[in-house]
Amino acid sequence: MADYQLSVSLKNRMNQILDASPLIPVITIEDPAQVVPLGDALVAGGLRVLEITLRTPHGLDAISRLRARHPDVWIGAGTVATLDQYRAVEDAGGQFVITPGLTRELLDYGSRATAPLLPGVATLSELMEGYRLGYRAFKFFPAEVAGGVAALKAFGGPFGDVRFCPTGGIRQATASDYLALANVAAVGGTWLTPESALSNGDWQVVTRVARDSLEAIRSLGT
C-alpha cells in the first residue's frame, strides 16, 4: 500500500483549529431540540471550537445546523470510527474530524480529505504510525486512563514536535495541569456540557461553566 503523506494545508488547518480555543467541549446530542440553544450557550461562554460526537444519530444534523448558525466557530465531529462516517461528516459541512483511535485507512484518507483529521492515540506505537505519514497533532485518549500528564511529558521526549489534545476523564480542575505542558495545544472534555444543565435546559449554567473554565486557565497564564 502506498504511503499518503499529510498535506501541509491540512496540517496548518488543524493547527489553526487547535489554536482557536484551549478548551473543546465534547458534545453528545440526545435531543435535537437542544442543538441550537446548547451551541449558542457554549459560544456565548467564549468557546470557538465545538466537537459534536457521532455517539447518537443526531450528530451530523447538529453539525450542519450549527455550521449555518455560527460560521465564525470551528465545528466538527468526534467519535468518528469508520471511513463512511468521515465522509458523512464532510458532507454535513464538518470542519474537522476526531477519532478515538486510528486505522491506516483513516490516516490515509485524512491526509487528503476536505476536513483535517485529529487521530486518537494512547501509545507511542500508535503515534509513530501517524507520525510516519506526516501527522504532528493527535488526540490523546483516554487521557487519564492512558497515563495523563505524566504520559504526555514522556511523549514529549522523543516527539518534541508533536501537539496533543488530551480528552477522557479530564475535569475543570485538572484541565490547567494538561495545558501547562508545552506539547498540549487544547483540552477536550464533557464537563463543559453538564448533564444536569442539559436535562433542565439551563443554558445559563452551560455558558457560565464555559466562561469560568476559560477564566481559570487564563488566570494561571496558560
Q: What is the mean pLDDT of the chain?
A: 96
- Name the E strands within 46-121: 49-53, 74-78, 97-98, 117-118, 120-121
At the topology level of CATH, where does 8-214 sit?
TIM Barrel (3.20.20)
For residue 1, pLDDT over 70 is answered with no
161-214 residue pLDDT tens = 999 999 999 999 999 999 999 999 999 999 999 999 999 999 999 999 999 999
The whole-number pLDDT of residue 222 equals 45
The whole-number pLDDT of residue 179 equals 97
The active-site residue, picked from 11, 90, 139, 153, is: 139
Residues 23/175, Cβ–Cβ less than 8 Å: yes
Grid cell 488547518 in the structure block, residue: 13
Q: How far apart are the first and last CA of the chain?
A: 42
Residues 137/168, Cβ–Cβ less than 8 Å: no
Supply the pTM of this predicted model: 0.96
Kindly tell me the burial class for residue 194, based on how many C-beta atoms sit within 10 Å of its own C-beta (0-12, 13-18, 19 or more).
middle
The active-site residue, picked from 30, 51, 144, 153, is: 51
What φ, ψ does residue 38 adopt, rounded to 5°? -70, -45
90-120 residue pLDDT tens = 999 999 999 999 999 999 999 999 999 999 9
Grid cell 501537539 in the structure block, residue: 163
The whole-number pLDDT of residue 162 equals 98
Please say if 90 is a catalytic residue: no
Grid cell 435531543 in the structure block, residue: 31
Q: What count of other Cβ atoms lies within 10 Å of the Cβ of residue 127?
A: 21
Please say if 11 is a catalytic residue: no
